[in-house]
Amino acid sequence: MSVKLAEYAMCDKEYDKRYLKKINVSLLLSNFAEQYNRMYKKFLRPVLFKFDPEKVHYFSFKMIKTAHKLGLGSVIKSMYKLEDKQLEREVFGLKFKNPVGLAAGFDKDARLYSELSNFGFGFIEIGTLTPKPQPGNPKKRLFRLKKDKAIINRMGFNNGGVDEAVKRLRKNKNVLIGGNIGKNKTTPNEDAASDYLYSFKALFDHVDYFVVNVSSPNTPNLRALQEKEPLKKLLNALMEKNRERVHKAKPILLKIAPDLNNDQLLDIIEIIESTGIAGVIATNTTLDRTGLNSVQKNEQGGLSGKPLRKRATEVIRFLATHSKTKFPIVGVGGIHSAQDAVEKLEAGASLVQLYTGFIYEGPALIKQINKYLLKQIS
Ligand SMILES: Cc1cc2nc3c(=O)[nH]c(=O)nc-3n(C[C@H](O)[C@H](O)[C@H](O)COP(=O)(O)O)c2cc1C
């Protein structure tokens, strides 16, 4: 009997050793994230920034995919993921592991959501998807404004169509996904609702929440759908279908432009309340070009990144104040640091998203924000 006990004790010791080794490796990798980020900014980013931005985007996709195929997913996860009960949020009935998400446009076709979640995002928004595949605007259509830490894009909803994305989403195990939907370029605004309804139906069983995108500046006339009457009609049509669902209806959010004036923002509040949608994403890219220093500033399209930060936060604050925080707001636009994220949360956002900051500040940004949030709590 005592021999058996000794064996058990040995087993325990072996287990402890292996467990401690595992913890040490995790700790090491976790610290390596910051070092890698410094290397990214000093060496890798300058090299990548010498090449065409759209090509670099797809090259990075391939690199991330390959790293995961080589079994490095758990290494990336150990480096970047930060899990803590105190980071969890419950917003529009959904449980988020942390409040930092990837904004729409990065993984339009739902090709990389699983791998991207290993970088520590609490949720990933795919899209904008349209019913039919479409090539988007002619290239070149994506520009870095390095001096301003910004991007101008006029991609024009290039995507492979919602049905193809659904095939990939079927494989999703546990990533919280937002489905951002829009209309095809060839669909006239009068028929826009049928496009949104098509994608809503196709994605319904595969996403956790929906985003109605009527705020992209790169589809001709799309922003006219932000006007009171057409917007109400569109959202009511979607909500009608949503309520018909036998199982739980899904949260529908509206993504708005930062270029709306105060009267238009008041209309948005009224529309959200009267249609009963779950909330708003503020904001999309801007047409404003004030205060830019880069030569690419006159390119047509939507501007994102640092110069958008202030206006996006103003819009969030306006909506939160004037709605008396009756609906949740997802804050996005110009988040390049933990402090920028906190600014959005303090202005009234319940969750935040980022895109341009991920490119300029490196993949450790998500963890930096979550770490900072934890520090603020304790
Ligand atoms: C290249 C690019 C493509 C984008 N595509 C979409 C899109 O398809 N749908 C959408 O709702 N927003 C799109 N966005 C806007 C972002 O989701 C986000 O609202 C905006 O960039 C502001 O955030 P940021 O300053 O963190 O980038 C895109 C942004 C960029 C830079």
* Model pLDDT for residues 272-283, shown as the tens digit of each residue: 999 999 999 999
What are the tokens at 145? 């404004």
Instruction: Say yes or no to pLDDT of 22 above 70.
Output: no
In which band, very low, low, confident or very high, does the pLDDT at 28 lie, cut at 50, 70 and 90? Answer: confident
Which residues, 6 or more positions from 303, have their beta carbon under 8 angstroms from its beta carbon? 145, 150, 151, 152, 285, 286, 287, 288, 289, 292
**Nearest residue to 374 via CA among 34, 103, 118, 82:** 82
CATH number given to 81-377: 3.20.20.70
Instruction: Say yes or no to pLDDT of 10 above 90.
Output: no
* pLDDT value at residue 377: 87
Instruction: Say yes or no to pLDDT of 148 above 70.
Output: yes
In which band, very low, low, confident or very high, does the pLDDT at 263 lie, cut at 50, 70 and 90? Answer: very high
* pLDDT value at residue 370: 98
* pLDDT value at residue 1: 43
Counting Cβ atoms within 10 Å, is residue 277 exposed (0-12), middle (13-18) or buried (19+)? buried
Give the pTM.
0.94
Average pLDDT score over residue span 51-78: 97
* pLDDT value at residue 90: 98
Q: Is 155 in the pocket of ligand 1 (CB under 6 A)?
A: yes
- The CA distance from 80 to 337, in Å, is 16
In angstroms, what is the span from residue 225 Cα to ligand 1's centroid? 18
In angstroms, what is the span from residue 207 Cα to ligand 1's centroid? 19
67-111 pLDDT per residue, tens: 999 999 999 999 999 999 999 999 999 999 999 999 999 999 999
Q: Whose C-alpha lies nearest to ligand 1, atom 12?
A: 104
Domain boundaries, given as residue ranges, for the chain: 1-79, 81-377
Do you find a cis peptide bond into 283, omega within 30 degrees of 0? Answer: yes
- The CA distance from 43 to 177, in Å, is 32
> 162, 214 in Cβ contact below 8 A?
no
Pairing of strands 150-153, 329-332: unpaired
Do you find a cis peptide bond into 128, omega within 30 degrees of 0? Answer: yes
Which residues, 6 or more positions from 230, have their beta carbon under 8 angstroms from its beta carbon? 189, 192, 224
Instruction: Say yes or no to pLDDT of 19 above 90.
Output: no
In angstroms, what is the span from residue 86 Cα to ligand 1's centroid? 28
162-188 pLDDT per residue, tens: 999 999 999 999 999 999 999 999 999
Q: Which of 162, 285, 296 is the best mutation target for the ligand 1 pocket, counting ligand atoms within 8 Å of the beta carbon and taking the most?
A: 285
* pLDDT value at residue 30: 74
Q: Which of 142, 284, 299, 309 is the best mutation target for the ligand 1 pocket, counting ligand atoms within 8 Å of the beta carbon and taking the most?
A: 284
Q: Is 357 in the pocket of ligand 1 (CB under 6 A)?
A: yes
Query: Which active-site residues does the annotation give?
Result: 216
Instruction: Give percent above pLDDT 70 in the chain.
Output: 93
